[in-house]
Amino acid sequence: MRAFVITGPGRAEVQEVEPPTPREGEVVVEVERAGVCGTDMEFYSGAMTYLHTGDARYPVRIGHEWAGIVREVGDGVDPAWLGRRVTGDTMLGCGRCARCGAGRQHLCAGRYEIGIRGGWPGALAERLPVPARALQPLPDAVDPTLGALVEPGGNALRAVRAADLAPGERLLVIGPGTIGLLAALIAAAQGVQVHLLGLAERSLDFARSLGFTRAWTTPPAEPFDAVIDASNGPDSPALAVDAVEPGRHVVFIGLSADPSLVDTRRLVLKDVTAVGVLSASGGLAGAAGLYASGQVDPRPLVAATVSLAEAAMVLAGERRPEWGTAPKIHIDPRLP
């Protein structure tokens, strides 16, 4: 089968590789759609932290935002999965440790991460092996585009839940990228008043095109009932703490390449609850349900769908003018 393989910093190619065979407890999915995110771009550039900690090494087969159809099942897997449209959890815990037993498999010390950690192959390929326990069935109303947005949507949903807001309350989302915009869409669907903060008017103009008229390069002075930092700016976490109303919640889901500093005295003196969100684990079903019901439609976030042969261009940050300013690019491995 064809798969996109990153062989080193700035080097990648579409290769013919052996198709996966399902092991016990696994299925093989025919990939319909896969999303490209900042983590994938860091693997391509060589900046990804896991490459320096030993949790990942080249060659890497990326792709953890995906949707597809179950085509094979291994021993011990219910054959009813065959032919079902699915997505799945990126985080694959060992299933034996205390964290996995407590439902925190996404924090398992020995976990694999699809397309990211431990060498588990990703979804920028025609077929993908996945443990059946990680599968999330997709409703009929969730097409391949929406299906590949369930994983980032699950991240965003967990961030919105952690913000702990009631309808009518004010939320500031720092960073109008894919996760920030998904969080904004989910919060708005719950009746929250959403404000977005970004650096570039180009990205803020796109946010305004989605109906978010409160989009700023400088936030209003009045404190917010919650702040979600979905940016990669090292100064954003401190800004989030400064911008939140005392006694409320700040949610950190973005990651900076450089250490970001927060004065814990501010957290204490404002009695702020700070929450970190890692992964969509626990949020996949909720995101799929929001899409299926029509409460949230994230399809405008997808600028284009391209082939595996065009993935390297996308990972290098190149964009065609006709794609516009939407933040997400999808890959369809079935395209020639």
Q: Would you say residue 287 lies in a domain? A: no
Q: Would you say residue 144 lies in a domain? A: yes
* 103 and 135 share one domain: yes
Q: Would you say residue 60 lies in a domain? A: yes
- Per the structure, the count of domains in the chain is 2
pLDDT confidence of residue 62: 98
- Cβ 49 vs Cβ 31: under 8 Å: no
Kindly list the distances between the CA atom of residue 315 and the CA atoms of 6, 10, 56, 74, 325, in Å, as whole numbers in the listed order. 10, 9, 18, 33, 16
Backbone angles phi, psi at 313, to 5 degrees: -60, -45
**CA-to-CA distance for 210 and 204, rounded, in angstroms?**
10
* 140 and 46 share one domain: yes
| CATH code for position 14 | 3.90.180.10
* 130 and 266 share one domain: no
* 89 and 218 share one domain: no
**CA-to-CA distance for 177 and 254, rounded, in angstroms?**
10
Q: Would you say residue 283 lies in a domain? A: no
pTM of the entire predicted model: 0.97
**CA-to-CA distance for 72 and 129, rounded, in angstroms?**
9
| Burial of residue 116, with CB atoms counted within 10 A of its CB: 0-12 exposed, 13-18 middle, 19 or more buried | buried
Q: Would you say residue 25 lies in a domain? A: yes
pLDDT confidence of residue 257: 85
Q: Would you say residue 291 lies in a domain? A: no
* 175 and 54 share one domain: no
Of 154, 135, 89, nearest in space to 296 by CA: 154
Q: Would you say residue 235 lies in a domain? A: yes
At 144 the three-state DSSP class reads: helix
* 111 and 220 share one domain: no
Cα diameter, the chain: 59
**Which domain range does residue 264 map to?**
152-276
**CA-to-CA distance for 15 and 4, rounded, in angstroms?**
6
pLDDT confidence of residue 24: 98
* Alpha-carbon Rg for the chain in angstroms: 20
59: preceding bond cis by omega (within 30 degrees): yes
**CA-to-CA distance for 261 and 267, rounded, in angstroms?**
12
pLDDT confidence of residue 197: 98
- Cβ 248 vs Cβ 225: under 8 Å: yes
Residue found under tokens 């897997």: 77
pLDDT digit string (tens) for the chain, length 336 residues:
999 999 999 999 999 999 999 999 999 999 999 999 999 999 999 999 999 999 999 999 999 999 999 999 999 999 999 999 999 999 999 999 999 999 999 999 999 999 999 999 999 999 999 999 999 999 999 999 999 999 999 999 999 999 999 999 999 999 999 999 999 999 999 999 999 999 999 999 999 999 999 999 998 999 999 999 999 999 999 999 999 999 999 999 999 988 999 999 999 999 999 999 999 999 999 999 999 999 999 999 999 999 999 999 999 999 999 999 999 999 999 999
**CA-to-CA distance for 149 and 284, rounded, in angstroms?**
10
* 17 and 115 share one domain: yes
Q: Would you say residue 292 lies in a domain? A: no
At 247 the three-state DSSP class reads: strand
* 144 and 243 share one domain: no
